[in-house]
């Protein structure tokens, strides 16, 4: 017999986190703990207002499935019982870890993936003034950051990128517009960004309003984030994007994320793995997917005032395993 526990926790941030949609000083996460025969499996999700999720709605989804989960609902059956989203992610990851514990496996072994010694991850530069973003970039590279992810809106785009490039001349730079570049002359802007050696631009236009991306050649690869949730989304995006960003909270867990890797590789789409703000518990679950990705953005825990077990080690721009 299984037992399920649901916790709703507010995690304060060490510093404000700003993107084009707003600023946060704390993040609310939901953790699921499954216990069976003395073995434990845990999962964490971050309800996201952008996808019409609240902590209350996600908690209700989880609680509604409690009887079936405690009666032994399998991870594969879960895929048809909950739609893609953060509720399914928390349960899916908890079930993966429970299955691993019951089999006396690590999560890597359960996924049939080889664990590397480390994974390079982006360090995010929160949206701020030109001077503050340049200073944040300089601080990040002084601590060994290899990959920087720049959060931007429509304001002072080139000026901010120029200042960051000057502060971090050797770092790989990727940009995340979070759907904010509607009305911007994208061909001209992307051509201007080429001189700063930008590796990728993420979701410049709103999901569902990105048809313009198929009308011109992209001098910089463009990655679908808000436009891509599950494997069914990938094929229709091939004429607009070169890359997709897989996030467990969007796709509904590790099971779907691994399927998305296979689908993307079959369709010759390049891969990024990202995250919502959250603890090491959430990031660790994404690592078996991250090893297949060209860019990894799993820096959620470094924004927290205090992380949670299992504690991942972040140093020199990498997650050390």
Q: How confident is the model at residue 262 (pLDDT cuts 50, 70, 90)?
A: very high
Pairing of strands 118-120, 318-320: antiparallel
For the cut 90, the answer to whether the pLDDT of residue 1 exceeds it is: no
Q: How confident is the model at residue 247 (pLDDT cuts 50, 70, 90)?
A: very high
Q: Which residues are catalytic, by number?
A: 151, 247
pLDDT in tens, 163-206: 999 999 999 999 999 999 999 999 999 999 999 999 999 999 99
For the cut 90, the answer to whether the pLDDT of residue 309 exceeds it is: no
pTM over 0.95: yes
Rounded Cα gap, residues 70 and 4, in angstroms: 6
Mean pLDDT score across all residues of the chain? 97
The 10 Å Cβ neighbour count of residue 154 is 12
pLDDT in tens, 32-45: 999 999 999 999 99
pLDDT in tens, 128-168: 999 999 999 999 999 999 999 999 999 999 999 999 999 99
Structure tokens given for 62: 């989880």
Give the model's pLDDT for residue 9: 97
Peptide bond into 198 cis (omega under 30): no
Q: In what order do the strands lie in the sheet with 118-120?
A: 118-120, 318-320, 313-315
For the cut 90, the answer to whether the pLDDT of residue 112 exceeds it is: yes
Question: What radius of gyration do the chain's Cα atoms show?
Answer: 19
Closest to 181 (Cα-Cα) out of 203, 158, 213: 203
Closest to 255 (Cα-Cα) out of 69, 115, 45, 76: 76
């Amino acid at each position: 017999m299984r037992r399920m526990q649901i916790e709703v926790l507010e995690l304060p941030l060490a510093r404000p986190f700003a993107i084009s949609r707003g600023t946060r000083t704390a993040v609310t996460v939901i953790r699921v703990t499954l216990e069976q025969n003395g073995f434990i499996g845990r999962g964490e999700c971050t309800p996201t207002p952008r996808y019409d999720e609240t902590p209350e709605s996600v908690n209700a989804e989880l609680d509604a499935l409690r009887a079936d989960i405690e009666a032994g609902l399998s991870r594969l059956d879960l895929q048809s019982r909950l739609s893609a989203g953060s509720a399914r992610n928390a349960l899916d990851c908890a079930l993966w870890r429970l299955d691993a514990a019951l089999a006396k496996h690590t999560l890597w072994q359960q996924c049939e993936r080889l664990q590397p010694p480390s994974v390079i991850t982006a360090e995010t530069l929160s949206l701020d003034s030109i001077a503050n973003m340049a200073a944040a970039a300089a601080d990040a590279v002084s601590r060994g950051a290899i990959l920087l992810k720049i959060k931007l809106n429509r304001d002072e785009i080139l000026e901010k990128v120029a200042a960051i490039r000057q502060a971090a001349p050797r770092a790989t730079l990727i940009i995340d517009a979070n759907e904010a570049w509607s009305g911007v002359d994208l061909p001209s802007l992307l051509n201007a960004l080429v001189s700063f050696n930008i590796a990728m631009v993420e979701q410049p236009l709103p999901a569902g309003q990105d048809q313009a991306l198929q009308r011109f050649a992209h001098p910089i690869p463009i990655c679908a984030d808000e436009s891509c949730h599950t494997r069914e989304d990938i094929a229709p995006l091939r004429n607009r994007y070169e890359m997709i960003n897989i996030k467990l909270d969007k796709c509904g867990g590790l099971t779907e994320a691994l399927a998305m890797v296979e689908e993307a590789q079959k369709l010759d789409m390049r891969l990024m793995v990202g995250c919502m703000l959250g603890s090491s518990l959430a990031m660790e679950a994404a690592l078996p997917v991250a090893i297949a990705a060209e860019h990894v953005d799993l820096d959620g825990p470094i924004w927290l005032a205090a992380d949670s077990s299992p504690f991942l080690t972040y140093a020199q721009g990498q997650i050390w395993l």
